[in-house]
Amino acid sequence: MAKNEPTEQARCQLLLTLSQIPAGRLCSYGELAKLAGLPGRARWVGSQLSQLPADSNLPWQRVVNARGKISFPVRSPAYQRQLERLIAEGSAEPSGRLHWRRCRWPEAWPAST
């Protein structure tokens, strides 16, 4: 394992946090990393999700980039697979538009006054 590489315990925490994203909601790689106790590890999160087995029941499709977009190249089989799953959950349109502001998880809390 490379220096400062997250541990197996961190990977387990990531997968547990991923499993908690509700259907119909979207989370960014960076926010998922932060929620799992791994701030600044968005790319590592992406790497871990890319290694999930094809038959995984974890909701990997609910994780998108910080701009609220699918990270796969448009029209690629992976993009289509993710988009189809998000459409089925109500967080995307067939045009590819994601409902990022409405479906973001966890919701951003208003600043206290």
Give the pLDDT of residue 6: 80
Q: Which secondary structure element, helix H or strand E, spans residue 70, and what is its range?
A: none
For the chain, 113 residues long, give each residue's pLDDT as a single digit of tens. 455 678 999 999 999 999 999 999 999 999 999 999 999 999 999 999 999 999 999 999 999 999 999 999 999 999 999 999 999 999 999 999 999 999 999 986 554 44
In the chain, the number of structural domains is: 1
Residue 108 lies in a domain: no
Residues of the domain holding 37: 8-55+62-103
Give the pLDDT of residue 113: 43
Residue 18 lies in a domain: yes
Q: Which residue has the tokens 């979207």?
A: 26
CATH code for position 23: 1.10.10.10
- Token pair of 4 as six digits: 């400062």
What span, in angstroms and rounded, lies between the C-alpha atoms of 97 and 99?
7
Please name the residues in contact with 96: beta carbons below 8 A apart, sequence gap of 6 or more. Answer: 70, 74, 83
SS3 22: coil
